[in-house]
Amino acid sequence: MCYFTGILGLRCSEFYKKIICFFTSKGYNINKWEFVLHQLKGEIMLATLIPLFDNKMAVCAYSVFARKENLFLNPNLMAGARFDGAGTVHELEVVSSMGVSTLSGGKEVFVPINQFSIFAEISLQCTVPAGKVVLLMDNTITPEESFVRRAKELKDQGYKLAIRKLPISSFEPYKEIISLCDYILLDHVKIDISKAKIYFSKQYPNIKLCAVNVDTQEQYDELVKDGGYDLYEGRFFRMPVKQSETDVSPLKVNYIELLNVVNAPDFDLTEAADVIGKDPALVISLLEIVNRMALNSEITSIRHAAAMLGQKELKRWINTAVTKELCADKPSEIVRLVMVRAKFAENLAANFELAMQAPELFIMGLFSALDIMLDKTMEEALRMVQVSKNVREALLNNSGDFAKVLEFIKCYEDADWDEVSRILVIDDIVMDDVYAAYLGALRWYRDLIPAT
């Protein structure tokens, strides 16, 4: 029970209905209070994916993190009521509704469970193959007989197991549980990997070690060099470029030229078609798209194909296709990152009262890692690529109307649900709109770039 409902002796729904009636009677905006009541029903969710990399910077799994409540609107959940419904694994709802193929491209999905949800009927909540699901336990699951027995049951059902948040002093007490695990997630800052490697290779030879909180490329490179870990989780792959020492390759210069043509205020179809003609991969991609659209029409030239696609769709396709090519020498997750950001930003436009600028928000998301794509600082990269003032201010100075959308998306990526919830309240945004926008972005990406 929350503090206010305890004082008034009312059930939560009755309390908030009375609050809404009071404020609306005073002339306040009813939409906001309908929004509040809607969020309190608990029928909505936030969810995001966090990648796990191997030592070649390839993504081999994703962790799914979800939240179904806005703590800013449900203060009672900060106390004991946060365990209401704890037997439901919300992340499994996401996995089951989306499917592993759409959600993670067929890769394993790590799903967190705690001391309550470990006893849930997980097999009934999960409709995807058990072998694709890694149940990620934390230290609320203690090495007691009941937990060990349940972990064995889940293992027998075909689920893989992982554990996180264990201090070194707990390794021995947790040996029965660790022996059942396929993965253990370790904070690389607190672990001497040379000693840990010897310990785990002797005690648990089949377990894979995952380094978490890897926040810089230098840390990742050093950990890979040391050779103790199998997987890596952290923000290292998308950290901004601080300084550049390399020239942009001639191929990327051609792509930049094309971006500048289509993003110019006086965008000319003919000029864009001529630049496309310089790159065989783009020519093939354009012809494939146009041929699907015009089954009974003969395409006579690249200019003809561009004209058939139309200015608006050609601009969108070029920005997307060129971004993919600019990322060709980068980890594949960078492509997924910027594509999902682009579509997510576009889908959120109306929620941030920027519906008319949705195409610009798409470009902002697409170019949000332009520094990484070009191995230049963002300031240098934006001197090379033409973008609108709104996009430039958001990417370079974190200012303007677009900046709050980008900041929201980055918090969402990090599963920073407290900050996300705060923004939802401040901007009167409904949680299920955000969830729908994110899942829509994932589906769009999987349709655009199918898993291989």
- DSSP per position, 252-277: HHHHHHHHHHHTSTT--HHHHHHHHT
Within this chain, do residues 52 and 25 fall inside the same structural domain, yes or no? no
Taking only the tens place, the pLDDT of each residue in 410-436 is: 999 999 999 999 999 999 998 889 999
The reported pLDDT for the residue numbered 296 is 62
User: What is the share, in percent, of the chain residues with pLDDT greater than 90?
Assistant: 57
Taking only the tens place, the pLDDT of each residue in 297-329 is: 677 788 888 888 888 888 899 999 999 999 988
Residue 19, Ramachandran bin (φ over 0: left; ψ between -120 and 50: alpha; else beta): alpha
Within this chain, do residues 361 and 224 fall inside the same structural domain, yes or no? no
* Bridge partners (DSSP) listed for residue 231: 210
Tally of domains within the chain: 3
| Amino acid letter, residue 14 | E
Whether 190 is covered by a domain: the verdict is yes
pTM above 0.85, yes or no: no
Whether 379 is covered by a domain: the verdict is yes
d(CA 441, CA 329): 24
d(CA 265, CA 216): 38
User: What is the share, in percent, of the chain residues with pLDDT greater than 70?
Assistant: 85
CATH number at residue 82: 3.20.20.450
Distance (Å) of CA 358 to CA 51, 121, 324, 342, 449: 27, 42, 20, 10, 22
Within this chain, do residues 27 and 115 fall inside the same structural domain, yes or no? no
Within this chain, do residues 255 and 319 fall inside the same structural domain, yes or no? yes
Examine the pLDDT at 1 and tell me if it is beyond 60. Answer: no
Dihedral (Cα; 190, 196, 199, 200), 10-degree rounding: 100
Distance (Å) of CA 30 to CA 110, 244, 330, 412, 433: 40, 52, 48, 27, 18
Q: Can you give the residue range of the structural domain that contains 354?
A: 250-448
CB count within 10 Å of CB 452 equals: 6
Within this chain, do residues 50 and 36 fall inside the same structural domain, yes or no? no
Whether 189 is covered by a domain: the verdict is yes
The reported pLDDT for the residue numbered 71 is 60
Taking only the tens place, the pLDDT of each residue in 336-378 is: 999 999 999 999 999 999 999 999 999 999 999 999 999 999 9
How does residue 8 score in pLDDT terms, banded at 50, 70 and 90? very low
Are the C-beta atoms of 101 and 443 separated by less than 8 Å? no
The reported pLDDT for the residue numbered 355 is 96
The reported pLDDT for the residue numbered 27 is 56
The reported pLDDT for the residue numbered 407 is 97
Whether 244 is covered by a domain: the verdict is no
Whether 242 is covered by a domain: the verdict is no
d(CA 270, CA 122): 57
The reported pLDDT for the residue numbered 404 is 97
Range name among 149-158, 175-184, 336-345, 423-432 with the lowest pLDDT average: 423-432
The reported pLDDT for the residue numbered 125 is 87
* Residue 143 C-beta-side C-alpha neighbours within 13 Å: 14
Average the pLDDT over 253-263 and give the result: 89
Within this chain, do residues 33 and 63 fall inside the same structural domain, yes or no? no
The reported pLDDT for the residue numbered 101 is 86
Within this chain, do residues 255 and 177 fall inside the same structural domain, yes or no? no
According to the 3-state scheme, what is the secondary structure of 144-188? CHHHHHHHHHHHHCCCEEEECCCCHHHCCCCHHHHCCCCEEEEEC
Report CA 437 to chain centroid distance, whole Å.
12
Are the C-beta atoms of 167 and 180 separated by less than 8 Å? no
Within this chain, do residues 69 and 176 fall inside the same structural domain, yes or no? yes
The reported pLDDT for the residue numbered 86 is 55
Average the pLDDT over 120-142 and give the result: 93
d(CA 271, CA 69): 51
Task: Say which residue, 35 or 19, is predicted with more confidence.
Answer: 19
Within this chain, do residues 28 and 51 fall inside the same structural domain, yes or no? no
The tokens of 38 are what? 């809607």
Q: What is the mean pLDDT of the chain?
A: 85
d(CA 48, CA 46): 7
Residue with tokens 């394993």: 108
Distance (Å) of CA 425 to CA 96, 247, 330, 372: 28, 45, 37, 33
The reported pLDDT for the residue numbered 76 is 53
The reported pLDDT for the residue numbered 70 is 64
Within this chain, do residues 261 and 224 fall inside the same structural domain, yes or no? no
Within this chain, do residues 50 and 35 fall inside the same structural domain, yes or no? no
How does residue 224 score in pLDDT terms, banded at 50, 70 and 90? very high
Within this chain, do residues 12 and 122 fall inside the same structural domain, yes or no? no
DSSP category for residue 240: P
For residues 430-440, b (16+ Cβ closer than 10 Å) or e, as one string? bbebbbebbbe
Are the C-beta atoms of 67 and 61 separated by less than 8 Å? no
